[in-house]
Amino acid sequence: MTDTPETQPFDKAQGESFEPVIIGFTCNWCSYRAADMAGTARMKYAPNVRLIRLMCSGRLDPTFVLKAFAGGADAVLISGCHPGDCHYINQNYKMLRRFHLLKRVLQQMGIEPERLKLLWASAAEGAIFAEEINKFVEQVRPLGPLNWKPGNGAHVEAPVHEEVPA
Amino acid sequence: MSKPKFAMYWAASCGGCEIAVLNIHEKILDVDANFEVVFWPVAMDAKYKDVEAMEDGAILLTLFNGGIRNDENEHMAKLLRKKSQILVAFGSCACEGCIPGLANFSPIQQVVDTAFGTISTDNPNNVRPQTSYEMPEGAIHIPTLLPVLKTLDQVVDVDYYMPGCPPESHQIAAVIDLVIQVLQGKAQLPPKGSVIGAGGSTVCDECPRKRNVKTIKEFGRIQLTEADPELCLLEQGIPCNGPATRSGCGAKCPSAGAQCIGCYGPAEGVVDYGARLIAAFGSVIDADKPEDIERILDGLVDPAGQFYRFNLAGSLLRAAKPAWKSGD
Q: What is the CATH number of the domain that holds A100?
A: 3.40.50.960
The predicted-structure confidence for B242-285, as pLDDT tens digits, reads as follows 999 999 999 999 999 999 999 999 999 999 999 999 999 999 99
Closest CA to A93 of A51, A57, A139: A57
Q: Which residue range(s) make up the domain with A56?
A: 20-143
Closest CA to B278 of A70, A101, A65: A101
Q: Is B263:B249 a contact under the CB 8 Å cutoff? A: yes
- Within a domain: residue A58? yes
Give me the pLDDT at residue B192, please: 95
Other beta carbons within 10 Å of A120: 22
Output the CA torsion sign for A67, A68, A73, A79: negative
Give me the pLDDT at residue B284, please: 95
Cβ neighbours of B304 in A, within 8 Å: 104-105, 108-109
Cβ neighbours of A111 in B, within 8 Å: 321
- Within a domain: residue A162? no
- Within a domain: residue A2? no
Q: How many domains does chain A have?
A: 1
Other beta carbons within 10 Å of B38: 20
- Within a domain: residue A100? yes
Closest CA to A156 of B14, B309, B315, B308: B315
β-strand partners of B160: B88
What is the C-alpha to C-alpha distance for residues A43 and A31, in angstroms, rounded to an integer? 15
Check CB contact under 8 Å for A101 and B150. Answer: no
pLDDT at A16 over 80: no
What is the C-alpha to C-alpha distance for residues B115 and B201, in angstroms, rounded to an integer? 38
Q: Is B161:B84 a contact under the CB 8 Å cutoff? A: no
What is the phi/psi pair of residue A26, to 5°? -120, 155
- Chain A window 68-87: which residues touch B at a Cβ cutoff of 8 Å? 69-70, 83
Tell me which of B316, B324, B326 to substitute to probe the interface with A (most A C-beta atoms closer than 10 Å).
Answer: B316
CB contact A102 to B (< 8 Å): yes
What is the C-alpha to C-alpha distance for residues B241 and B44, in angstroms, rounded to an integer? 37
The predicted-structure confidence for A22-58, as pLDDT tens digits, reads as follows 999 999 999 999 999 999 999 999 999 999 999 999 9
- Within a domain: residue A159? no
DSSP assigned state of B209: S
Check CB contact under 8 Å for A150 and B104. Answer: yes
Cβ-Cβ pairs closer than 8 A, A with B, add up to 105
A79 Cα distance to chain centroid: 8
- Within a domain: residue A148? no
Q: Is B244:B277 a contact under the CB 8 Å cutoff? A: yes
What is the phi/psi pair of residue B2, to 5°? -75, 150
SS3 of B121, please? coil
Check CB contact under 8 Å for B275 and A108. Answer: no
- Within a domain: residue A40? yes
Check CB contact under 8 Å for B281 and A101. Answer: yes
Residue B328: pLDDT band (50, 70, 90) is confident
Residue A162: pLDDT band (50, 70, 90) is low
Structural domains of chain B sorted by starting position, each given as residue range(s) with its CATH number in brackets? 5-99+148-183 (3.40.50.700), 110-146 (no CATH), 203-297 (no CATH)
Q: Average pLDDT for residues A65-90, to the nearest whole number?
A: 95
The predicted-structure confidence for A124-133, as pLDDT tens digits, reads as follows 999 999 999 9
Q: Helix, strand, coil: what percent of chain A each, to 5?
A: 45, 15, 45
- Chain B window 299-328: which residues touch A at a Cβ cutoff of 8 Å? 300, 302-305, 307, 315-325, 327
What is the C-alpha to C-alpha distance for residues B18 and A129, in angstroms, rounded to an integer? 57
The predicted-structure confidence for B71-130, as pLDDT tens digits, reads as follows 999 999 999 999 999 999 999 999 999 999 999 999 999 999 999 999 899 999 989 988
